[in-house]
Chain A
Amino acid sequence: MDTRAIDRILKKHNHEHSSIIAMLQDLQELENYLPENSLEYLSEKLSMPLSKIYRIATFYNAFSLTPRGKHLISVCLGTACHVRGAAKVLDRIRMYLGVEVGGMTKDGLFSLETVNCLGACAMGPIVVAGGDYYGQMTPAKVAPTMKNYGKKPPKPAAKPPRRKGKK
C-alpha cells in the first residue's frame, strides 16, 4: 500500500466527502483493484465510516474488491450487440477462459466482465481485450483472438476410445 499516493489522491480532491466516487476511481488505478487496507486507510484519513466506503464500492460497477487479471476482457452486451449475437460470443469466451463474468483466470492473466454499451454499435458484437477493440466478433473468432494474449485453448472434449486392432 502506497500511503503517499493515497494522500495525494485525498489532497487532489480536497478531502471532499462528496468526491468519494472519484477518489475511489483514482485509488483503483494504483493497484487495479481496491484492497482492504487501502480502503481502511482512506476511511481513517477521510473520517468516513468504512461501511460507507464499502457501500459505494459495492454499489457501482466501476469498482472491484478483488484483484483483476492482467488483461481485462470486456464483452459488450448492449442491445445492438445482443441483437447481433453477443450472448453467443460471451458464452464461448466463458467456456474458453473457464471463468464466469466477474472472475479471473487462475493464472491471473484474464478477467472477464460485461459492459452495457461501449457506444461503438457499428462494430457489434464487440469485445475489448486488453484495451484493443475487436469488432464483428463471432463465437468462431474467440479462440484466435484470445491466442493473441497468450491464452491456449482448453483441452478438447474426451476422445472416443480407440478401436482394438488399430494403431
Chain B
Amino acid sequence: MITFTIDGIEVQGEQGQNVLEVALDNGFTIPHLCYHEAVKPYGACRLCLVEVAKGGRTRLTTSCNYPVMEGVSVQTNTEKIMRARRMIIELLLARCPDAPILKDLAEEYSVGQPRFTLDHDDCILCGLCERVCREVVGVDAITFLGRGSNRKVGPPLEINPKTCIACGACVYVCPTNCIKLKETETERTIVRWGRTLPMKTCKVCGRSFAPWFQLDYFGKITEGLSKDFWDTCPDCRKA
C-alpha cells in the first residue's frame, strides 16, 4: 500500500493506481471528462488538474495519469487549480456550447458566457470513444484524425468504418452524448460514423437483437460456442 495525502487527508492506494481514481474512491470531487475506468487514462481534457508537492517542488498536473507515490501531498482545490479549471471549462464551452455536461460544469464553477466566438461543435475530443473501441471492443473502427485545430475523431475517410460492429460502446461512453444510435427493426445505425448494419432476428422470438456483422465478429473471436448460440437473442438463450 502506498500512503499519501489529498487535501491534507491521508489516503492509501496500490501500486499502479493513479491519483484520480484513489481520490474518487475516497469521496473527493475532481471534475474529469476524458477519464473512464474501463480504458487507459489519457490526460487530454485537463480538467482533473491537481497540485502535487513532491520533494519540495509543487507542480500542476493531471491526476488521471499521475501514479500514486509514497508521501506526496495532493491539493485539489487551490486558487491556481480553480483559475485553470475555469478557463478549461470556458474553452470547452466555447467549442460545444450546447453540451449539457459542459453547461453543468460551467454553472458549478461559475463560468459565465465564453469570451470567445462560439463554435457549433459537439465533440470535446476526449478520445473515450476511440479508446473504448480499441482497448475494450478491439475493432479499431475509429481514431483521431488530423492534428491541432483540425483534429477530430472518426473512421478512416470520415465515413462508414468497415470494422465497426455497431456495439454502441462509443455511444455509452461519450460524455457529451454526441454519438447517437438509431435502431429500427431491420437496421442499426451509429449516426455519427455513418455506419448502418442490418439486424439479425432471433430464431426463437423473431425480434431483431443485434447486427449480423457484430454476431459474426463475436463468433470469430469466441471459441466453443455452437452456431445456435448466435442465432438466438440473449433473452431466449437464458430461457
The answer to whether B147 touches A54 (Cβ under 8 A) is no
**Chain B residues near A52 (CB, 8 Å)?**
140, 143
The answer to whether A50 touches B147 (Cβ under 8 A) is no
The answer to whether A36 touches B140 (Cβ under 8 A) is no
Residue of A nearest to B133 (CB): A51
CA distance A151 to B144 in the complex (A): 38
**Chain A residues near B142 (CB, 8 Å)?**
51
Chain A interface helix/strand/loop/mixed: helix
Question: What sequence of 0s and 1s flags, for each residue 69-106 of chain B, a beta carbon within 8 Å of any chain A beta carbon?
Answer: 00000000000000000000000000000000000000
CA distance A59 to B148 in the complex (A): 9
Q: For residues 161 through 198 of chain B, which have their beta carbon under 8 Å from a beta carbon of chain A?
A: 161-163
Question: What sequence of 0s and 1s flags, for each residue 47-76 of chain A, a beta carbon within 8 Å of any chain B beta carbon?
Answer: 001111111001100000100000000000
The answer to whether A50 touches B156 (Cβ under 8 A) is yes
Question: What sequence of 0s and 1s flags, for each residue 44-86 of chain B, a beta carbon within 8 Å of any chain A beta carbon?
Answer: 0000000000000000000000000000000000000000000
The answer to whether B157 touches A49 (Cβ under 8 A) is no
Partner of B157, one of A36, A55, A59: A36
CB of B35, distance to nearest CB on chain A (Å): 21
**Chain B residues near A59 (CB, 8 Å)?**
144, 146-147
CB of A98, distance to nearest CB on chain B (Å): 23
The answer to whether A51 touches B146 (Cβ under 8 A) is no
Residue of B nearest to A53 (CB): B156
CB of A100, distance to nearest CB on chain B (Å): 14
The answer to whether A55 touches B163 (Cβ under 8 A) is no
**Chain A residues near B130 (CB, 8 Å)?**
51
The answer to whether A51 touches B156 (Cβ under 8 A) is yes
**Chain A residues near B134 (CB, 8 Å)?**
49
Q: For residues 212 through 233 of chain B, which have their beta carbon under 8 Å from a beta carbon of chain A?
A: none
Chain B interface helix/strand/loop/mixed: loop
**Chain A residues near B147 (CB, 8 Å)?**
58-59
Interface centre among A39, A51, A54, A59 (most CB of B within 10 A): A51
CB of A50, distance to nearest CB on chain B (Å): 5
CA distance A41 to B146 in the complex (A): 22
The answer to whether A49 touches B163 (Cβ under 8 A) is yes
**Chain A residues near B146 (CB, 8 Å)?**
58-59
CA distance A39 to B157 in the complex (A): 11
State whether the Cβ of B118 lies closer than 8 Å to any Cβ in chain A. no
CB of B131, distance to nearest CB on chain A (Å): 12
**22 pairs, CB–CB < 8 Å, chain A vs chain B:** A49-B134, A49-B140, A49-B163, A50-B162, A50-B163, A51-B130, A51-B142, A51-B143, A51-B155, A51-B161, A51-B163, A52-B140, A54-B143, A54-B145, A54-B157, A55-B143, A55-B145, A58-B147, A59-B144, A59-B146, A59-B147, A65-B157
Given contacts A50-B156, A52-B140, 19 further A-B contacts (CB under 8 A): A39-B156, A49-B163, A50-B140, A51-B140, A51-B141, A51-B142, A51-B143, A51-B155, A51-B161, A51-B163, A52-B143, A53-B156, A54-B145, A54-B156, A55-B143, A55-B144, A58-B146, A59-B146, A65-B157
**A-B pairs with lowest CB-CB distance, top 5:** A49-B140, A54-B156, A51-B143, A55-B143, A58-B145
Interface residues of A (CB under 8 A from B): 36, 39, 49-55, 58-59, 65
Interface residues of B (CB under 8 A from A): 130, 134, 140-147, 155-157, 161-163
